[in-house]
Amino acid sequence: MSNQNLSDPHEQGELHRSLSNRHLQLIAIGGAIGTGLFMGSGKTISLAGPSILFIYMIIGLMVFFVMRALGELLLSNLTYKSFIDFSTDLIGPWAGYFVGWTYWLCWITIGIADLSAIIYYLQFFNNGLPFSPVEGAMISVAAIVFIMGLNLLTVRLFGELEFWFALIKILAIIILIAVGLWM
């Protein structure tokens, strides 16, 4: 093979890495900090009190061991690409089918919950006045279009936006902890 055909990967349409390590690390951290942390945890702590933090530690420990087990399972067969592959290979095709559709349903449900949280936060900042169903639908569509627009940007710009959004989440958590300790 000669080097005559080799040129810049951009010219041949090949994939190349556009995200730096800082983008990847903060996208991972920001992905772990979801709506549930701000909305769900606040309600839970206000209802159950500080003892809920003990429950969070127990659940966190269980999640840690599950993730370790999944890592070991992945290393046992490097052809696994998703939960569907795990269940299809180890249990059977019916389990892979079930896990695939359950995974899809979970992400659809999370998307709807996030849209509901957006409407809830906007109602909170609108002096608690509820939105009509039409206004709620318009807000949901606007949020979907906005998020889809962010995802359709170039990889570098998307990574930069996600980096700053994750940084805002981290700063919000630090500020909330500081205010909680101060009060």
Same domain, 89 and 132: yes
- In this prediction, residue 80 carries a pLDDT of 87
How many CA within 13 A on the CB side of residue 10?
Answer: 2
What's the Cα-to-Cα distance from 167 to each of 19, 57, 164, rounded to whole Å?
Answer: 16, 24, 5
Per-residue pLDDT at 9 exceeds 60: no
pLDDT, tens only, 57-111: 999 999 999 999 989 988 988 888 888 998 999 999 999 999 999 999 999 998 8
Structural contact between residues 140 and 119, judged by C-beta atoms closer than 8 angstroms: yes
Q: Which residue has the tokens 């899809």?
A: 104
Label residue 16 by pLDDT band (50, 70, 90): confident
DSSP single-letter state for residue 38: I
- Please report whether residue 24 resides in a domain: no
Q: Which two tokens stand for residue 53?
A: 């933090």
74-80, Cβ contacts within 8 angstroms, sequence gap of 24 or more: none
pTM (two decimals): 0.71
pLDDT above 50: residue 1: no
Q: Are 26 and 166 in contact (CB under 8 A)?
A: yes
CA distance 67 to 85: 16
In a domain, 175, yes or no: yes
How many residues are present in the chain? 183
Task: Say if 111 falls within a structural domain.
Answer: yes
Q: Do residue 91 and residue 118 come from a single domain?
A: yes
* Number of domains composing the chain: 3
Distances (CA, A) of 46 to 43, 63, 114, 172: 5, 24, 21, 18
Could you tell me if 177 and 157 are in contact, meaning their C-beta atoms sit under 8 angstroms apart?
A: no
Q: Are residues 124 and 148 in the same domain?
A: yes
19-30 per-position pLDDT tens digit: 889 999 998 888
For 117-158, the pLDDT digits (tens) are: 899 889 988 888 888 999 999 999 999 999 899 889 888 898
| Higher per-residue pLDDT: 15 or 109 | 109
The dihedral through the CA atoms of 6, 10, 11, 13 has a sign that is positive
Residue 146 sits in the same domain as residue 93: yes
